[in-house]
Structure 1
Amino acid sequence: MAVKKKAAPKKKAAAKKAAAAAPKKAATKTEILNNLSEATGLTKKDVGAVFDAMSEMINKEINPRRRGPGVFNIPGLMKIKVVKKPATKARKGINPFTGEEMMFKAKPARNTVKVLPLKALKEMV
């Protein structure tokens, strides 16, 4: 006796696309300037000037040669701070892939930048 195949259930229509579809790639500088100029009504040149001024402010605040506090807050988004890493001595270690002993080189003391997300930025994700 022949078995009748059931028709496959119809697929539901695709969900409506969001007004602003999520981009596949990170935005370029030009795209960011264009989007901000449209959203604020400022010219692209003015938005670029704001970014340049913010960059200079960050440099003044976190640059150790300028004796700034070492911390810069972007309200509601992130905190940028300088972390002073101490010097490390050369030491023996084991390569986890081959199991052979190796020497890790000594590293000098250095300053690194750490970006900490604030609550509002964490809630966006």
Structure 2
Amino acid sequence: MAKKPAKTSGKAAKSSSKSSPKPPKISASGKPRKKSELFTLLAEHNGLARKQISGVFDTLAAVMAADLAKPSDGRPKVFVVPGLMKVTSRYKPAVPSRKGIDPFTKTEKTFKAKPASTAIKIRPLKALKAMV
């Protein structure tokens, strides 16, 4: 007696992968992108809502503000955006007015006092330099 061939399910033969539409390719903009344009572009490419993208940027700004808070000990505070840039803030104390010699005219001059301030510097990292 001959054996019957095993039945194969039609579902197993079909592929169940769904192809989602690909977002448009990112191209250079002739002018700087506005905030809404950037949020829309990021939302399309990552499959997230614009509110979620906005939340990510708000959180990033809050973390940056906390990490770069006014340094009081003289050492710079650092915040790194991985692969893109390093942001440092350094507190500069107030400088009183002083008398000195003007290097150009060689006459005595009073130099103005400078108030305390915080200097912010942004340095590109290797990956960002390679992109440009």
Q: For the superposition of Structure 1 and Structure 2, which TM-score range results when normalised by the shorter chain?
A: 0.5 to 0.7
Q: Please list every run of at least 4 consecutive aligned residues from structure 1 whose deviation after the TM superposition is greater than 6 angstroms.
A: none
1:109 aligned to 2:109?
A: no
The Cα of 1:87 is off from its aligned counterpart by: 3.7
The Cα of 1:103 is off from its aligned counterpart by: 6.9
1:43 aligned to 2:49?
A: yes
Q: Which ranges in structure 1 are unaligned for 5 or more consecutive residues?
A: 1-18, 96-101
CA distance in 2, matches of 1:50, 1:79: 19
Q: Percent identity?
A: 39
AA at the equivalent of 1:119: K
- TM-score normalised to structure 2 length: 0.62
1:56 aligned to 2:70?
A: no
- Please say if residues 60 and 66 of structure 1, whose CA atoms lie closer than 8 Å, have aligned partners that are also in contact: no
The corresponding residue for 1:70 is 77
Task: Give the CA RMSD over aligned residues.
Answer: 2.9
Q: Which ranges in structure 2 are unaligned for 5 or more consecutive residues?
A: 1-24
The Cα of 1:65 is off from its aligned counterpart by: 6.8
Aligned residue pairs: how many? Answer: 100
SS of 1:47 mapped into structure 2: helix
Q: In 2 relative to 1, CA 105–20 (structure 1 residues): closer, same or farther, beyond 3 Å? A: same
- TM-score normalised to structure 1 length: 0.66
Q: Which structure has the greater CA radius of gyration?
A: 2
